[in-house]
Structure 1
Amino acid sequence: MQHHSRFAIYYVPPRHAPLYQFGAAWLGYDGYSGEPLPPVGDVADWRAITEEPRGYGFHATLKPPFALAEGATVDRLIDTCRVFAAKPRAIPLITPKVDAIGGFLAVVPSAPSAELQQLAADCVRDFDGLRAPLTEADRARRRPEALSAPQRDYLERWGYPYVMDQFRFHMTLTGRLPELQRAALLAQLQQRFAELALDHCAIDRIVLCQQQDHAPFRVIGEFQLERDDLRLRRLGFPNR
């Protein structure tokens, strides 16, 4: 029986990090083990609210899901991850918060980050040679008639409309919600998130995830990004 796999390059916090524990527990799925987690017990319609993001695990997309190009292999993809991670770069540092974005709720940066935009753009470009071309079904699913002209161009060039200047870093917590439900749940999630007391988060790793057939995405590789110490020293930061 032939299996269909998709891969993605995500930012996923380390398994034992408070941020990951918060997100995985809320979604009810551990992307490291591939196992479900007990549902939260005090949110009405929790399962329906979290159904869509649960299938992807708690993450932020850097290179959107793709099938491997003809002739590409998982080993080559893993090697590309290692090469990418080994390039010295400015490590984005964000102050995370829970907020509404496009009708759903997510963990997002409190302020824009040029380093984060650059990291995402680099991921889109550097892994694109391993991506299979869009199928007509893929294209139709993105509803190109509803996209802006730049987004349609990105869909054709990169296989996904929300990249480059259209990219917004987010770690999804819900599907799309009606306004009143979204506002009430936002206040509750913001209160839960505040208990973590996270004043910053370094986006200092990439994670390779795989989806087999229609199962949830699961982590199959973790890669620490190499920090550009020379650049940091110029800015007055100490060595590692």
Structure 2
Amino acid sequence: MRYALYFTPPEHDPLSRAAAHWLGRDPFSGKTLPISPTDGFSYEELADLTADPQRYGFHATMKAPFSLAADCREGEFVDAVGRFCGKTSSFTIPSVVIGQLGHFFALVPEQPFTPLQAFAAEIVEAFEPYRAPLSDGDVARRKPETLSETQRANLVRWGYPYVMDEFRFHMTLTGPVKAERAAAMRDLLNGRFADFVGRPLGISGLALYVEKERGTPFTIHSWLPLSGA
């Protein structure tokens, strides 16, 4: 069993619904949903391009997947998440857009937003005592030889390379997209998510996701509102 702390909007939020239908799975219920082919993209191509983010469910990583420390029980961890959310204030990202990070597309802040960076760093640090150390296999899967010096240090210290100054908020919508398909995918996503692009995104809660066995889909164990949400 692995756990992760992710941001996602509440279950019935329009963005959650739109993303579930885009990815073909609802992480709240665990149910698969039909993916609709569209002009320029077949069902098979869309299914392939969304396969990886579909397994994780629509989210932005705050505390990457980890096993619980040997002396920690699930109930203790869940209670700690509840206490953290109860004392942490909700806030709003001023505007989000469709962005491309490397070869994949995601919903990202239009501009850097300091409160968001601070929120993510606080989560990483607050829940570090609950994380079991990475195994040698876990470290190898991160391909440390491809990481920067800072990212390797983060991997050793926090169990994940892309935290603290390396953190970039993104809600993944595709796997790798070939360069010759990137413009068409950007247009498609801007159309599919037109109701959310260029608009604020409220950070109103924190979701506890679980992976029951390695390689199986993540589902939402609980969604907890932040203070004032």
* TM-score, L = length of structure 2: 0.93
Aligned residue number for residue 41 of structure 1: 37
Aligned-residue sequence identity (percent) comes to: 40
Contact 1:58 1:172 in 2 (8 A): yes
Report the Cα offset of residue 88 of structure 1.
3.8
Structure 2: give runs of 5+ residues left out of the alignment.
Answer: none
Distance, in Å, in 1 between the alignment partners of 2:23 and 2:130 is 30
Aligned residue number for residue 223 of structure 1: 224
**Segment drifting more, 53-62 vs 95-104:** 95-104
Q: Secondary structure at the match of 1:51?
A: helix
Contact 2:9 2:15 in 1 (8 A): yes
Report the Cα offset of residue 196 of structure 1.
4.6
Match runs of 1:156-171 below 5 Å: 156-171=156-171
Aligned residue number for residue 208 of structure 1: 208
Whether 1:30 and 2:31 are equivalent positions in the alignment is no
Inter-CA distance 28–172: structure 2 relative to 1 (3 Å threshold): same
User: Letter of the aligned partner of 1:225 in structure 2?
Assistant: L
Whether 1:86 and 2:86 are equivalent positions in the alignment is yes
Aligned residue number for residue 188 of structure 2: 188
Distance, in Å, in 1 between the alignment partners of 2:6 and 2:197 is 24
Inter-CA distance 92–200: structure 2 relative to 1 (3 Å threshold): closer
Report the Cα offset of residue 222 of structure 1.
1.2
Inter-CA distance 90–205: structure 2 relative to 1 (3 Å threshold): closer
Whether 1:155 and 2:152 are equivalent positions in the alignment is no
Aligned residue number for residue 19 of structure 1: 15
Report the Cα offset of residue 90 of structure 1.
6.0
Contact 1:18 1:196 in 2 (8 A): no
User: Letter of the aligned partner of 1:143 in structure 2?
Assistant: K
Distance, in Å, in 1 between the alignment partners of 2:146 and 2:79 is 37
* Aligned residues: CA RMSD: 1.5
**Segment drifting more, 217-226 vs 193-202:** 193-202
Contact 1:92 1:113 in 2 (8 A): no
Report the Cα offset of residue 41 of structure 1.
2.1
Q: Which has the larger radius of gyration?
A: 1
Q: Secondary structure at the match of 2:51?
A: helix
Distance, in Å, in 2 between the alignment partners of 1:189 and 1:202 is 20
Aligned residue number for residue 103 of structure 2: 103
* TM-score, L = length of structure 1: 0.89
Structure 1: give runs of 5+ residues left out of the alignment.
Answer: 228-239
Contact 1:24 1:30 in 2 (8 A): yes
Contact 1:10 1:59 in 2 (8 A): yes
Aligned residue number for residue 133 of structure 1: 133
Q: Secondary structure at the match of 1:7?
A: strand
Deviations 1:109-160 (A, max 9, x none): 1111111001100110011111110101110011111100000000000000
- The count of corresponding residues between Structure 1 and Structure 2 is 224
Aligned residue number for residue 145 of structure 1: 145
Q: Secondary structure at the match of 2:185?
A: helix
Distance, in Å, in 2 between the alignment partners of 1:64 and 1:163 is 9
Distance, in Å, in 1 between the alignment partners of 2:197 and 2:47 is 26
Among 1, 6, 11, the alignment partner of 1:10 is 6
